[in-house]
Structure 1
Amino acid sequence: MLRVAYLDHTAKWSGGEVALYNLLTNMDSTVHPLVILAEEGPLAEKLREKGIDVRVILLNDKTRNRNRNKLDMHLFVSVLEFFQYGLKIGKLLKKEKVSCVHTNSLKSAIYGAIAAKSAMIPLVWHIRDNIAEPYLRPVIAKFIRIMAKLLPNGIIANSKSTMSSLHLSEAQSVKTLVAYSSYNGPIGSMLEASNRKQFVILLVGRLDEWKGQHVLLDAAKRFKQQPEVRFWLAGDALFGNDGYKKRLQQFIEDHGLTNVMMLGHVEHIQSLMQQADLLVHTSIMPEPFGQVIVEGMANGLPVIASDLGGPREIVVPHVTGLLIQPGQPELLSEAIQWMIDHPEERRHMGEMGMTRVREHFLIESTVKRITEFYPMVIREQKVQ
């Protein structure tokens, strides 16, 4: 049995943390997990409820919440705090006889490297973000790419798109694995679309400009004369991004979009999806993966998604949904209208989406691939 330490700088219930929870709660007996978080929060609580060993070693809030693209004098203070924090974690790793470190975020990748090196154990980076503009400033992206070639013994990425953004050469000694943030739940919708009087279009995701909720609102203007067509936005602003939320609310008010509902944070997304007819995904930047797309397909929803990044690896055009150019409300409204006008094709897309989830995106497959990856990384370090 391998004792693997999982590091994350946040305990918020966000995409990467949900994926980590799904991984750990489906882990087989070959791995004994130790989760080390830099704050208390929903992730810590939910993992403890499942009997998983969670330790919280607090990291200064200013450093932990620091904007990834900010370059100022406090950067040097943050680097020093990361170094000291990493050494503190390294002592715990030695005490717990950890075999391997698995980091789950970019910040934990940095202090996790310090911890792993000080404990002299292998390091695996799990990269869940696109290491490129505009998500990262060019200098930050370049720094991470350089560190990716020097620090970890292994790198897991949540999509081929994310892995390619690291610009790793095949000649590099670091071992790599693409492991999708897979689905963990039942497959199939419990409600029949024929029983609904409305056609519900659902967008799920935190409110952030790069997620493109404004694109959907612009498209919704074109359906004001079709009262049966409704638009639901599930998700709230995170990390102090209330300004974008207010802009969306103002747009709805200015244009009289009575066909739009902003639902805020929704705890049980699956029940919401079972009330919808179509899932849309409107990111205007490359999405690292697109977990919500997989969830929608698992619930029998056809999908319209931006033709960028991870969604290209999930959606099969004209089979499980449609891929369209991002940031174009006209194209989005045309795609939505096509879905409304073609109920039989839409139903078939939903069925094919469920089949695709069963074949490619179940959590058991991801767990198997990652647990088989750890021994490879450990053996490689011993050889070196």
Structure 2
Amino acid sequence: MPSPTILQIVPELETGGAERTAVDVAERIVAEGWRAIVLSEGGRLVDELKSTGAEYREFPAKTKNPWRMWRNAAAIADLIEAEGVDIVHARSRAPAWSALIAARRTGRPFVTTYHGAYNQKSRLKGYYNSVMARGDVVIANSGYTADLIRSRHDVGDRRIVVIHRGTDMRAFQDPSVADRAEALRTEWAVPAGKRVILQLARLTGWKGQRVTIDALARLSERDDWVGVLAGDAQGREAYLNDLRTRIRDHGLEGRVLLPGHCTDVPAAMAFADTVVVASTEPEAFGRAAVEAQIAGRPVVVSDLGAVTETVLAPPAVGEDARTGWKVPPGDPQALAAALEEVLNLDPDRRASLAERARSHVATRFSLEAMTERTLDVYRGLLAER
């Protein structure tokens, strides 16, 4: 019997959870001796995808034009037949509609991964989102996401599988990380001797950079820190300018930096002292909080969405089980108070916290666990066929 062929479709391969997971799963598919094909409009991760041995096909997967989406369905169906695709896996709504039609036309199993807490303020938007709940198997990237799916769509528990996002812990243990961290510190002009409060997130309103800046303003009497808000504005120049103005108005120029997109997360985490996840809307998973814990860095997160699964903090657990801090979303005063507590940690408490955090993440959120459970989904569908 020939090796199975798995087709994934994602709008682009720039940055983000869906894109990163598509590449990670493709690598695991190839390692299994199977064939992986990814359809996308391209981006930063294409070369990495190709290096795994997966096949990349440039495809107009971002389009939301109904006519183009219908044409895409026909093109995907042709590709399924020509390439002997066994399973179709969609990771975003617009291309998922095309992939669903193609899978049904060709009789192939259809898998979706519900990657985000998609906005759903109208019945029309609810219908648009519903494609992500139409898979033969619907993968939720957290328990929070699974509950969201159940509340929005008529999906039985039998079709929902919770597979937490996984992170490659080896990348944070690479011996070169320390040297790369120093190079990144120099590139970003982070002052020597200052403790770094890091936020790694694309620059968009709901990621909470405004809240972080307002919180840092409350720490301005301390002179031992610098804030780094690293992320790609992705064309949101008005928002970027608003952040610059906010920094200037608080008198934080030179103390809060906006270095742009970060391509080396392990290096950035390595020179950070504290990591902030200040989202003002629920995260379906929240990779930065997990990566901070892998790196052994104290993390302060907004208490909403899936962080209840990724970060442990009182009162849900005792102080001796804490792996981070949770604060109300959109509350700069609470965030500042938590940061003050973190900055005042003694070395022994920081070391204990780091050890607990790494153990917590290794147990529940490893890349190996995520990719193996995803292949189990594929194996089950192949067996049914």
- Aligned twin of 1:73: none
Asked if 1:143 corresponds to 2:127, the answer is yes
Assess if the C-alpha contact under 8 Å between 2:328 and 2:334 holds in 1.
yes
Distance 1:217 1:282, change over 3 A: same
Amino acid aligned to 1:247: D
1:350 to 354, 375, 378: 354
Instruction: Return 5+ residue gaps in structure 1 as ranges.
Output: 67-77
Which string of whole-angstrom CA distances, capped at 9 and with x for unpartnered residues, describes residues 122-164 of structure 1? 1000110113xxx343335521464455x32111111111121
Distance 1:265 1:326, change over 3 A: same
Assess if the C-alpha contact under 8 Å between 2:93 and 2:129 holds in 1.
no
Aligned length: 356
1:175 to 148, 153, 159: 159
TM-score normalized by the length of structure 1? 0.86
Assess if the C-alpha contact under 8 Å between 1:188 and 1:354 holds in 2.
no
Assess if the C-alpha contact under 8 Å between 1:8 and 1:108 holds in 2.
yes
TM-score normalized by the length of structure 2? 0.86
Distance in 2 between the 1:106 and 1:224 partners? 43
**Structure 2 matches for 1:1-384, cutoff 5 A?**
1-27=3-29, 28-29=31-32, 31-37=34-40, 39-58=41-60, 64=62, 78-131=65-118, 135-144=119-128, 146-148=130-132, 151-167=134-150, 172=156, 175-186=159-170, 187=172, 197-238=193-234, 240-258=235-253, 259-317=255-313, 318=319, 319-343=322-346, 344-380=348-384, 382=385
Assess if the C-alpha contact under 8 Å between 2:283 and 2:304 holds in 1.
yes
Distance in 2 between the 1:41 and 1:289 partners? 22
Distance 1:110 1:174, change over 3 A: farther
Distance in 1 between the 2:164 and 2:33 partners? 20
Distance in 2 between the 1:99 and 1:49 partners? 23
Which string of whole-angstrom CA distances, capped at 9 and with x for unpartnered residues, describes residues 16-43 of structure 1? 2122212222344153211122x13223
Distance 1:2 1:123, change over 3 A: same
1:46, distance to aligned residue in structure 2 (A): 2.0
Distance 1:13 1:359, change over 3 A: same
Distance in 2 between the 1:233 and 1:147 partners? 34
Distance in 2 between the 1:251 and 1:287 partners? 24
3-state DSSP class of the match of 2:242?
helix
Amino acid aligned to 1:35: V
Assess if the C-alpha contact under 8 Å between 2:114 and 2:141 holds in 1.
yes
